[in-house]
Amino acid sequence: MYPRVLIDKEKYRHNLKEMLKLNHDNNLTVMAVTKVFCADIELVNICIEENVDYIADSRIENLMTFTCPMPKVLLRLPMISDAERVVRHSDISLNSELETIKALDKESEKQGKKHGIILMIDLGDLREGIFIEEDVYSTVEKILKLEHITLKGIGVNLTCYGGVIPTPETLEKLLEYKNKLEEQHNITLEIISGGNSSNIELLEQGNMPKGINNIRLGESIILGRETAYGNEIENLYNDVVTLETELIEVKEKPSVPIGEIGMNAFGKVPIFKDKGNMLRGIIAIGKQDVEYTELIPYDTIEAIGSSSDHIILDLSGGYNIYNVGDEILFKLTYASVLSLFTSKYIKRVYK
């Protein structure tokens, strides 16, 4: 049955083990991030089997679907309205708002639990985190007074919104916060979480500042890519997940539509370049599942457009000869893995 993603579990395991080794050798614990594949249970089970230090996801709906011996971490800042589920289904959450942390404290008391938090500090990427230095100190002071909250540590997120690349200088700022906070309050912060897959290059070059002791990894494990420069990581597979689709039409047609051009299915006026006649194919998958620009064909063919349920291919330059009913395979990007696992129309097969 098509369309489907083929998931190579042993390749995922290999990538995971390599990343665990690199980080453990550098005294960093690893949060294996499962959000891009919607916490697919087969892949979550590999994280459990390989004994990752933490399992992390941005959505509580994903964390609710499994139990595991290691702590579960909620990556996206919790909604106050969701405090009940956050405390019930995660052990630690990333936070930046005192109001939310107070709501988690109240809920933890109700559930007879202690909830751990990592306080996020914004060092310039401008997504989540406390930006003003004074606010970090005053917030920590108040957190330490909450009886049902444990301040597990501090963290930073880079290269997510602003594209800021982690450097030793930037991460040193996180360590300055750690030192000042520990001194001011006579506490030990267990987790100093230095970021995500954009830290891999820094690590491999031996430039990770000592004291950063945790990393949260999603993309590097599933796609074998670091995300500061987009380089492939040596010894890792970049084809853990492959998309398999089926051709439902193969015909020679012009490259430019015939007639007056109005709006397409999405209200935009399309522009075409005349390349003469071409061999065109249609595969049974569309915008509802994935953006065609995020698919990387194995053959020398090109995805040239799509509507909700169809992607149109230029098969002219292909190495293979195609007939209706044939399979077309693609490598994937972060965005296409994300949307394919989210679409309920895409089957999953494992090997």
Ligand X SMILES: *Cc1c(COP(=O)(O)O)cnc(C)c1O
Write out the residues near ligand X by the rule CB under 6 A: 33, 35, 58, 75, 94, 157, 196-197, 216-220, 227
Which neighbouring-strand residues pair with 74? Answer: 57, 93
**Least distance (Å) from ligand X to the CB of residue 249?**
36
**What does the buried/exposed string (b/e) look like for 240-276 if buried means 16 or more CB atoms within 10 Å of the residue's CB?**
bbbbbbbbeebeeeeeeeeeeeeeeeeeeeeeeeeee
Nearer to ligand X, 164 or 217 (CB): 217
Q: Which is nearer to ligand X, 94 or 192 (CB)?
A: 94
Tokens of 243: 């998309």
**Would you say 3 or 194 has its CB closer to ligand X?**
194
C-beta nearest to ligand X: residue: 218
Nearer Cβ to ligand X, position 139 or 197? 197
How distant, in Å, are the alpha carbons of 156, 163, 177, 178, 190 from that of 183? Answer: 20, 32, 10, 9, 14
Half-sphere exposure of residue 160: CA atoms within 13 angstroms, side-chain side: 20
Shortest gap between Cβ of 193 and ligand X (angstroms)? 8
Number of continuous H segments (helices) and E segments (strands) in the chain: 10, 16
Contact at 8 Å (CB) between 314 and 332? no
The values of phi and psi at residue 64, to 5°, are -70, -15
DSSP β-bridge partners for residue 348: 5
CB of 76 to ligand X, least distance (A): 6
Q: How far is the CB of 277 from ligand X (least distance, A)?
A: 43
How far is it, in rounded angstroms, from Cα 346 to Cα 328?
15
CB of 210 to ligand X, least distance (A): 21
CA distance 46 to 110: 34
**Do residues 307 and 297 make contact, with C-beta atoms less than 8 angstroms apart?**
no
Sign of the CA dihedral running 145, 149, 153, 156: negative
Tell whether the torsion through CA atoms of 85, 86, 90 and 91 is positive or negative.
negative
Nearer to ligand X, 227 or 336 (CB): 227
- 35 flagged as catalytic: yes
Residue 149 CB, shortest distance to ligand X, in Å, is 19
Q: Quick one: 58 or 339, whose CB is closer to ligand X?
A: 58
Catalytic one of 9, 35, 102, 173: 35
How far apart CA 340 and CA 345 sit, in angstroms, is 8
* Catalytic annotation, residues: 35
